[in-house]
Structure formats: structure tokens, C-alpha cells
Amino acid sequence: MKFKSFGKRAFLALTMSFLLTFSALAEVKEVIAEGEAAIISSKDVAEQSAIASALRNAVEQTSGLYLLSETKTKNFQVITDEIYTKAQGYVSSREILSKKEVNGNIVVKIKAQVSMEPLLESMKKLGLLRKWTVAVISEKNNNNAKYVESATNSINQIIIDNGFRVVDNDVLSSLEKPETMNQILKGNYLAASQMLRDNGVDVLVICKTITESLSGNNFNAYGIDVNIQSVKGRIDAKLVRADTGELLGVKSFEKISIGAGEGTKAQALKDAGVDAGHFFVNQIIKLPASTSAYVQLYIKGLSFAKIKPLIDEIKAIRGVRKVTNKIFKNKEAIFEIETEGDSNLLASNISENADLLKKFKFDITSVTSGKIEAVCE
């Protein structure tokens, strides 16, 4: 009877897992796009060319949401050759909404269903997606404290393997301070948002690890007592967007490990962490690349009279959306800059602005996650 009950639960769990996976694979974005082609040999040929152009435009619109302007500029040919020219492969269905002849051209308007998974997977493999910075923190509990690292290491490795970044131990230490951790665990993510942004964190992963012994058998092998146990490791995880505090995903991951010794618990959590890592990557790649990052710019040696001219120059830099002067004291200023990308990209764009560097004798001395330090002579 117990076996039958377990079989039903397992079947239902497997069915739900399949349905969720199928749903994710079937995710599409509906796009309205136009295409145009000259009538040369026949109207039929021109119509097919116009449809192909419309499909390309539909994929270009969709992929553009996940590309930073800097990425588009530097990788224009790769994007064209590997994404736009293969547009038809990313469109699951299309409907012609209108067709007309204008000045010797056929113009068509279509409604296209763009399949997100293959498109984003192609962009990820080509290294075109935004390099999101992820912080993985774990809720500490006495029972599993020494096994937590097995789970977080697995998640971090999957994130890195898929082309994203994880924060270093110094940032993790600052996030795990009681005052910040308490707010995060209470679900008050906005309260921790400034701390996350200052440390260059785009996405926060919060884990709670649990292990459960399912069974155990003792036997003697060559005079040595051995205990073989079955352990279930579970990770309850949440995915949070750092700048808005938005909850992007909540899911539990379970794995069973069989072995001898305490390492069995670590292995169960490590295996659960692999599944969790893949889930998080699939959620992260769906984030639009144009999401703003907030970078703190610290400048020494700046006179008050130069603040407004400097702000105007920085606003003109590629990718910068907003510049706010937060503090000015003793010729030291702190600006908050809303920009595409991260602090490294912003620093690179600033250093390429010859007028700014010359006019303000501006010299960048340090670039870290979420912060740029500079001096003006």
C-alpha cells in the first residue's frame, strides 16, 4: 500500500515537472512586424522576400530586448549572421495581417510568435547576453551549516559555466551581516536593495538547505562497521531582482544520495544545487538587458563650479540614463549614475570620452562592483 501511494505521488510529481518544463519550452513572444521587398521577377517572389524581411524584423525586435547597446555595436556582424539571418528558425508561427503594393514594392505586416528558448539559448552561446552579477546567499541553520557550501558552490558553478558572474567573498560577507540578512529573510528586499546595488549585485539568490535521513543500514565489512544511509537534500530557493526587489522565482529542489558517512548529506545538497543552478540561469536569461544598473562615482579634487558641467558631460556618455549628485564636501563628490551595463562598462565608456578627460583632467583610479573612484586635477 505504501509503495502504491509513493508511486502515485512520484507519478504526479513527474507529470507536474514535465508540464512545467513543457510550458517553459513553449514560451513565446508575440510580435507585430513589417517587411518590404521590391517587385523584380514576380509579385510572389517579392512577397516571400517581404515575409522573410518581416520575420527578421520580428526577431530583431525580440532579441533587442536582451542586448545592451554596447553589445549591439561591438557584435553587429555576429548578431546579423547568427541571429537575424536565421530568423525563421526562431518563429514558431506567423500570420499575415496585411499585404499591399507601394511604389513597386510589396509591403507585408505579420503577427509572429517568436520562440524564446531557442533564441535566448543561441544568444547565450554566442556570449551576447548581459553579464549579470549574481549573489548566492544561504540562510544559516545549525543542522546543515557545514553542508551549505556544497549547495551554494554547485549553484555558483552552474551560473559561471553559463557566462554570468558571481560576487566575491567580501561582498557575500557584507550581505550576510545580521542587519542586511534579517531584512532579506523577512522578504523586505527593497530595504536591502541599496546594499545590493552598491556591491554591484544584479540578482540575488536566497537558499534554505534541509537534509533528511530516509533510511540507514549497518553492516560489517572486513571487521569495519559501516553505515549506509539514504539522505534527501532539499534547497528552498528564491530569486530576487536587486534593483527593484521583485521576486522572480520561487522553487524547491530535492535530490536523494546514498552512501556512507557525513559526505552523503553534502552530496545530496550538491546534486540539488545543480538543478537549482540551471533553474536560476533559465530565469536570469529572460531578464531584459536594458535593466538599469546604479553605479556610485566618487571624485576627489572637484570644485563646486564644475559639478554641473561634469554632470552634463557624463549624461552624454553612451548608456547613461541619469546622473544625480548625492554629496559634495571638501572637494569630494559622490554621484549616483543610472546606466546600462555595470561599473566596468561605464568606466570604459568614460575613459573613451576624450573631451571629458581633457576638460576636467579626469583620471579613474579604481573600479569595483558598483563603484568607480576618480580624481580631478
Provide the pLDDT for residue 227: 66
Class in CATH terms, 293-376:
alpha beta
Q: Which residues pair with 37 in a beta bridge?
A: 106
Provide the pLDDT for residue 16: 37
- For 100-133, the pLDDT digits (tens) are 999 999 999 999 999 999 999 999 999 898 889 9
Contact status, residue 38 vs residue 46, Cβ threshold 8 Å: yes
Third-level CATH fold of 133-284: Rossmann fold (3.40.50)
Provide the pLDDT for residue 275: 95
Specify the residue for cell string 543561441: 122
**What is the dotted CATH code of the domain comprising 2-125?**
3.30.1660.40
Below-70 pLDDT ranges, the chain: 1-26, 141-144, 216-227, 290-292, 369
Strands laid side by side in the 28-38 sheet: 28-38, 105-115, 91-102
- For 218-267, the pLDDT digits (tens) are 555 555 655 678 889 899 999 998 877 888 889 999 999 988 777 888 89
Going from N- to C-terminal start, the domains of the chain cover: 2-125, 133-284, 293-376
Provide the pLDDT for residue 218: 58
| DSSP per-residue codes, 47-73 | HHHHHHHHHHHHHHHHHHTT--HHHHH
Against a cut of 0.95, is the pTM above it? no
Strands laid side by side in the 371-376 sheet: 320-329, 332-339, 293-300, 371-376, 362-368
Provide the pLDDT for residue 6: 35
Provide the pLDDT for residue 90: 94
- For 192-232, the pLDDT digits (tens) are 877 787 788 889 999 999 888 887 665 555 556 556 788 89
Provide the pLDDT for residue 214: 84
